[in-house]
Amino acid sequence: MNRKENNRTETESRKRAGMPKYIIPVLLGVFDYLAVSLAYFVALWLRFDFVFSKISQEYWIIFSRSILVYAAVTVLVFWAFRLYRLLLRYIGLREIVKVFGLSLLLSIVYAVAIRLILGRMPVSYYFGGALIQAALLTGIRLSVRLVDHWNKRRAQMQAEQNRVMLIGAGDAGQMILRDIMANPSTHDTVVCFIDDDPNKQKRLLEGVPIVGGREDILSAVEKYRIDKIYLAIPSATAEQKRDILSICSETACELKQLPGMYQLISGQISVSAMKDVAVEDLLGRDPIRPDLSGVYAFINGKTVMVTGGGGSIGSELCRQIAAHGPKQLIIFDVYENSAYDIQQELKERFPQLDLVVLIGSVRDSRKIFKVFDEYRPQVAYHAAAHKHVPLMETSPCEAIKNNVIGTYKTAYAAMVHGCERFVLISTDKAVNPTNVMGASKRLCEMIIQSFDAKIKAGKASEIPQLFTHEGCENADKDGTGRVFRNIRTEFVAVRFGNVLGSNGSVIPLFKKQIEHGGPVTVTHPDVIRYFMTIPEAVSLVMLAGTYAKGGEIFVLDMGSPVKIDTLARNLIKQAGLKPDVDIKIKYTGLRPGEKLYEEKLMDAEGLQKTENELIHIGKPIAFDQDLLFANLATLMSAAYANDDRIRDLLIGMVPTYHPAKAGAQALKVLGATAEPEPDEMHAAG
C-alpha cells in the first residue's frame, strides 16, 4: 500500500470514528512538548540522585528559563518537517530514523544555546536529556504501530482460531494437544477433553479440563462453542467409534479421527495424521485388511483379464493388479467411457504396464472366444453384469442374457483356452433371491460350480456349449474332443454385500438428495443391508483367486447389518443438518423384487474357515448339474425371444427363488407390520 492509499485509509478511519483530522497531530504535538520537558527534568533530577534539595538554585533557574522555549521550538521544527503528518500505524524505519536524528540535532543546538546564553549546566544534563528525549519521541510513534499491529493480530487469531474438543484423554489425546499447542499455524485451540474414564473426569490435562464422558459431548459442544471434534482413541473398536461418532454427528462440528494404533506405536501422532470421518466409520465394524502378499505373488508375471473392468469393482481390481507386476492386463468392457477412464489412469500410473483394453460384450461368444484365444489369460476375474435390482425386474430377459448366458460363455471360453483360475463376482442377493437380478447371480454360481465339478470328474466334454451364432465359435471344431483334455481351470465365486461408493450405491444418491435440500428417499424404516468398502471387496475377490481349490463360494463376514434409515440420518447429520427438520426423510415402499434384509448364506450352506478369520467358504449345495445344463439352453432361447415366462423358468431352475413371497417373508422375519421398502443397489462391476 502506497502513502496516498495510507492517507486515504487513515482519513476514512477517522471519518468513520467521527474524529476531526487535526486531533491526532495536536495530541502528538502536546505529547512531544511534555516529553521534551520531562526528559530534561529527569536528566537533571537523575544527576543529583533523585534528591530535589541537592539541585542548586542556579540550575533550576537555567532549566526553567530554557526548557519551555526549547520544547516549543522542538514541536515547531517537527511540524515544519511534517512529522505530524505521518500515519503512525504504518510508520517505518525511515521515519523513525528521521525523528531520532532530528531529536538529537535539536538537543545539540539546545546545549550550545544554553552554554552561550544562560550559563553552564552539568554535562550529564545534556547527554541524559538528549537520550531520554529521543527515546520518548520515537517510542510513542513506535508504540502506536506496535499496539495497532498487536490488536490486528489478536483479532485475526480470534477470527481464525478453531475451538477443538478432543475425545480421549490418553496418550494419543495428549500428543495431539501438544502438537496443537506447538503449532499455532493449525489455528486450533483445544478447549476441553471428553473421556469415559471417571477417574479422569473433572481433572485437567495440560491445563485443559476433562469435562465428562460421551454422554456429555452434546452439552459440551454447546457450552464451549466447539468448532471441531477430534477423536483420538486409536485403540477403540469399530463399534465404539461408531457409537461416539454417531453422537458427534448430531452436532454441526467438523469431525476428524486418528486412523489407528499404528500411528500411536510409531509415534506419528499429530494433527496432520487426523483424517476425515468417512461414512464407513459409522458402520460399526473393523475394516478387512488381509495379507495380500500371496495374492500378489500369484498374480506376478501372469496374464490377467478383468471383464467389466471399467466398473467400480472391476476398475479397483485393475488398479491393484497393475500395481503388482502382471505380465499383461486385459480390460474387457462393453461401456467405452469407463474403459477409457481406467485405461488413461493406468497408463499414467503404470507406464511400463502391458495394458490391453478391449470393447465387447460377454454375450458375444465369438468375441469372447477370440479374446481368450489371442491373449490366453491365466487368471480371469468376471465382474461384468447387470446389477440394478429394479431395472432387472422390468427387463428380466436382459438379466438372463448378460448375467447368466454371459457368465456361461465367458466361463466356457476360459475353460477351453487354458485359463487357470476363473473368479465370479457374486452378491448376497443370490441368497434366497426375491428378484431377477439375485436369481440370475445364483444361477451364475450354480454354473461355475457345475463347471468345476465336471472338470474335477474329468468330464469337461459333457459341458454343453451354448450358441447364439451356432458353429462359428465351436470349441471342438475337429470333433476329436482334444480340446477337453487336460483342462485344469478352477472356478470359484465371491459373494459380498453392498459396496460403499460404487456405481449405483445408495450413498451418493443420498448425498445428492441432501445437497438439493431433500427429501432423502428411504424405502422402509426397517430395511437393513450389509456393507463393505471397494478395497475390502477387491481384497476378497483377489484372495479367492489364491485360496481356490475349485467350486467354493467365498463369503465375507461383514459384521452387523446396517439400517438404511440410520445410514441416511447419519449422512444428514454429517452435513450439519437435522433429519426431519432441515432434511425430510420420505419412505417410498419396497420396489419390485426388493426385500427388507439380505442373507450371506443359504440355510443348506455350511461355513468353513480360511486363513483369514473374516473370510469363509460356503460348501456347494448339491443339485442336478446335467438338468441345469439342459435347462440353460431353454432359458437362453426364452431370454433371446424376450419370453414373458422367463420368471417361471427361473423359478424352476433356482429352487430358492421366490419372487411372489418377498415382502411377506421379510415382514415375517423382522416382525414388521408396515408395507416393505427399497433395496440398496448392488454394484459389483
Q: Phi then psi for 245, rounded to 5 degrees?
A: -65, -30
pLDDT value at 266 more than 60: no
Higher pLDDT among residues 560 and 508, named by residue:
508
Q: What is the mean pLDDT of residues 506-525?
A: 81
pLDDT value at 16 more than 50: no
pLDDT of residue 52: 76
CB 380 within 8 A of CB 398: no
Residue in 650, 645, 659 with CA at minimum distance from that of residue 434: 659
Higher pLDDT among residues 647 and 610, named by residue:
647
Query: CA–CA separation, 288 vs 494, rounded Å?
Result: 15
pLDDT of residue 283: 58
Query: CA–CA separation, 593 vs 522, rounded Å?
Result: 16
Where is mean pLDDT largest: 74-88, 279-293, 337-351?
Answer: 337-351
pLDDT of residue 57: 84
How sure is the predictor about 175, in pLDDT bands with cuts at 50, 70 and 90? Answer: confident
Higher pLDDT among residues 162 and 199, named by residue:
199
pLDDT of residue 396: 93
How sure is the predictor about 360, in pLDDT bands with cuts at 50, 70 and 90? Answer: very high
Cell numbers standing for residue 290: 488381509
- Summarize pLDDT for 460-477 with one digit per residue, the tens: 999 999 877 665 678 877
Global pTM? 0.61
**For the chain, what percent of residues have pLDDT higher than 70?**
78
CB 535 within 8 A of CB 278: no
**What is the enclosing helix (H) or strand (E) of 490?**
strand 490-496
Higher pLDDT among residues 540 and 25, named by residue:
25
Q: What is the mean pLDDT of residues 542-555?
A: 74
pLDDT value at 533 more than 70: yes
Q: What is the mean pLDDT of residues 608-633?
A: 79
How sure is the predictor about 278, in pLDDT bands with cuts at 50, 70 and 90? Answer: low
pLDDT of residue 593: 55
SS3 228: strand
**For the chain, what percent of residues have pLDDT higher than 90?**
26
pLDDT of residue 333: 95
pLDDT value at 56 more than 90: no
- Summarize pLDDT for 413-427 with one digit per residue, the tens: 999 999 999 999 988
Where is mean pLDDT largest: 117-121, 378-382, 675-679?
Answer: 378-382
What is the 8-class DSSP label of residue 404?
A: I
What is the 8-class DSSP label of residue 88?
A: G
Give, in order, the Cα–Cα distances in Å from 456 to each of 121, 460, 545. 121, 8, 17
CB 145 within 8 A of CB 90: yes
Q: What is the mean pLDDT of residues 242-267?
A: 66
CA 452-430-635 angle, 5° bins: 70
Query: CA–CA separation, 255 vs 622, rounded Å?
Result: 50
Can you list the domains of the chain with their CATH numbers?
3-159 (no CATH), 161-277 (3.40.50.720), 297-473+483-500+531-559+599-670 (3.40.50.720)
On the 0-12 / 13-18 / 19+ scale of CB atoms within 10 A, 310 is: buried
Query: CA–CA separation, 524 vs 521, rounded Å?
Result: 9
Higher pLDDT among residues 308 and 252, named by residue:
308
How sure is the predictor about 152, in pLDDT bands with cuts at 50, 70 and 90? Answer: low
CB 62 within 8 A of CB 114: yes
